[in-house]
Structure 1
Amino acid sequence: MALPSETFLRAGSRCKRLLLTATLLASVAADELFLYPENLNRVLGTSIRWRVYGAPTGDVNFTWYRGNGSIEANMLVSYTSSPPSWIPGPVNTGRENVTEQGYLTITELEFGDTGDYTAVVASTEGSQEATGQIQVWEKLFQPNITVSTASVVEYVDIVNFTCQPNNTSDLQIQWYLNYFPVSQGYQWALSSDNRTLSGWVSRSQNGPYYCEVSNPATSQRSTFQNLQIYYGPDFIDMNSIPLLHLGTIKAKLGSSINIYCQTVSQPACLYQWLLNGTALATTNSTLSIRSMSWEDVGTYRCIAENPKTQLILYSTVTLKVYEPSLPILKPPYAISQRMVVFLSIGVSLILLSLIGTFIFHLLS
């Protein structure tokens, strides 16, 4: 009966030189018998123990062989339970032994210990056989990481990372950014052996960067590498006291004024101020006027420059004198000349009519 392969495990100790990964294969005469290593990953100088499951009890003989099969010339060690006795085989190096339970132990593991191992269990009920396989892997050392430049401009400069393993055996290389795997795509390019990672970066990708080397048994990662990323300015935000409204500041003569020119960039921007096209002495992001006069009235321009990205932005505001609005007085009611003539004629006619009526009554 065949058993599935054991998952390769990683060894965590840094002092280890060799690690062991075992893949189990069981076969044979009885369905119950199979082998299982007590520890899958071991180091040079330590031991591994093969457990035997499904063996009968009572008077049992355990014999272990190197290789797939019970060839006498490949016998490692044999144990007889009655009377208890141990017999080393032709290929026994002194590092192999068997316990009373039939478990095989190998001390001071070497690369030559890689391969198949066969256990034969003999009892009055018959003989059973099972085979397992172990693989010894090299202990990986910490790789070195180098970078072409530690300071880059966002979206512009190409940075190259190189991973340099300190092992000569076959291994895999994986790159990580902020602890997440980096794969080849529109931003990153990998060399055929994954030893070089190249690409552009954004401001959030300053690191850490590192590479990890691995084999089926263990892995080691390099030291961290961080980048200095230059970016911006993306925009200028203008504010002021008194408040800026629609690009205009209105203030009274003699009042204090602060105009703020704010940007987001790395490194911080260099600032220059112009008043009506003439450069001012201020090089800060804030322009302060202690007591406003007529000479301060005009258009102010803030120019922000990032010396690393060489990006330049500017914005303007207009400073005016505050003039309070006066109440609007309605003009008095006026009558046109034509209307005056019309009214005069009307009044005269009315008077003449009244006089005529009065005379008529008198004569009557």
Structure 2
Amino acid sequence: MEPPAGPASTRHVPWNRLVLAVSLLTFWTPPTTAQLTIETVPPRAAEGSDVLLLAHNVTKNPLGYAWFRGETVDHSQLITSYRVDINVTTNGPTHSGREALYPNGTLLIQSVTQKDTGSYMLLVTKNDLQTERQTGHLHVYPVLPRPIITSNNSNPWEHEDTVVLTCGPETQNTSYMWWISNQSLPKSTRLELSEDKRTLTVFNVTRKDTGPYVCEARNPVGISRSDPFTLDVLYPVARPPLQASNTTVPEHEGPVVLSRLTDETGVSIRWLFKGQSLLLADRMTLSSDNSTLTIDPISREDAGGYQCEVSNRGNSRKSGPLRLRVTWQENARALDVGAITGIVIGVLLVLMPLAVLGCFIFLHSSCLTRY
């Protein structure tokens, strides 16, 4: 008879596997629950917009939530709280009427203002009365008004004055940029920006510095540009020389064109005749820029001295007189001599028969008296 079987022997485990198992037990720890976080949406808020403080990774089945202004649990800074099990919301001392707390712990702030900028803390109370807290941050930026460019000198003189242009109004957290004639600022020793770039200084202005100038204000939530601003640079105008297509013209002929030789821009032009403002007749036309006067046809009334006066807001200059001669006077004199001769001859032709007749009557009367 076989002896009874003994106890079952233990299965042999290789040493290297045992070392591996011990190592895994030593270094492996159960995965931790994801940490509570607060996300601000949108991350950069414009004044007047609505903002959500989103609560992420909130513990399951919490007992309640509470939102505070600041970074500590201070009941004087309580905004609002929510008890999940009884579905009750309680507003605190800092509740403005614009806040709403959702059942998932998210806080809505409507129509935010710059005073809403700051820290917000969420306190989550778990079922075991343990708490978890996390802080979010809200930064509210103003809606940028349209910038306005102002100048310290409305009528600077060329090569003499320095002009300071300022982009306003000043707002916080705002950067500024400038353009001249739709181009970024060129590198020039006559142009200087202030440290905050709100002020542009133009040294020794010239007529080429008229602009237009545009300033741009930027903050994290918007961009706004000013209306174009143009400098009115004053400069002395030169005496305008005149020329004429012809200075001696027979009456009823033409045209005669009078024009100034310089093409100076930014000036107004006035024509004078015999020292007085020219009254345009139907026979006269001016070019679109008033720099050319055309007379067609010429009349004897057009004879005399013409001048061109150019002016800007700084000063004015007149040209020397240019005299126009109409030759109707010489033709009229020759015509008068011929007319007079003809009249004399005509009168003589009429008077001679009358003289002969008178003489005959006189002789006849004398003869009758004698006899």
Shorter-chain TM band: 0.3 to 0.5
Larger proportion of helix: 2
TM-score by length of 1: 0.47
TM-score (norm. length: structure 2): 0.46
Give the structure with the larger strand fraction.
1
Determine which structure has more spread, i.e. the larger CA radius of gyration.
2
